[in-house]
Copies of this chain bind each other. A is one copy, B any other.
Amino acid sequence: MVSGELKLARPAHVHAAKPMRHALAAFLSALEVPDVEQVDVITAVGEALANAVEHAYRGSQIPDVSLRARLDADGTLAVDVIDGGRHLPVVQHIDRGFGLRIVRSIAQSIELDADAADGTALRMFFKLSA
């Protein structure tokens, strides 16, 4: 039975996205998720991380960005990307750029909580082959 959990929190510098993606990829590899399935997950989560670190950088104080991933034995992967930045009005959140469009194309489903107490929270669900 293969399963696992990953939680990372660190200041949301633009340079945080890359090592966080790499940690997620290595986490998935350790859980025997084939590369071809990893690619899409990393692409979607990469967008969420890019938004988090890009947005956070606009303020003067740098909040944290956190990534939480959980792979269950049935192949369900849930990933949260949470940032502590002041979020932009919800109307602006939807489909302005490519980011969320890409996330929506890849993830089985998403939950965007722009009113999360601690900033913006994007939860993505992926169905892997298990």
- A-side residues, CB < 8 A to B, are 1-11, 16, 19-20, 22-23, 25-27, 29-32, 64
The answer to whether B64 and A1 have CB atoms under 8 Å apart is yes
29 sampled A-B residue pairs with Cβ under 8 A: A1-B9, A1-B10, A1-B64, A2-B10, A2-B11, A3-B9, A4-B6, A4-B7, A4-B10, A5-B6, A5-B7, A6-B6, A6-B7, A8-B27, A8-B30, A10-B30, A10-B31, A19-B26, A19-B29, A19-B30, A19-B32, A22-B26, A22-B29, A23-B23, A23-B26, A23-B27, A25-B26, A26-B27, A27-B27
Partner of A23, one of B1, B19, B20, B30: B30
Cα separation A6 to B24 with both chains bound (whole Å): 10
Minimum CB–CB distance from A81 to chain B (whole Å) comes to: 13
Residue of B whose beta carbon sits closest to that of A9: B3
Partner of A9, one of B2, B8, B25, B64: B2
Minimum CB–CB distance from A45 to chain B (whole Å) comes to: 12
Minimum CB–CB distance from A50 to chain B (whole Å) comes to: 15
**Across-interface contacts of A29 in B (CB, < 8 A):** 19, 22-23
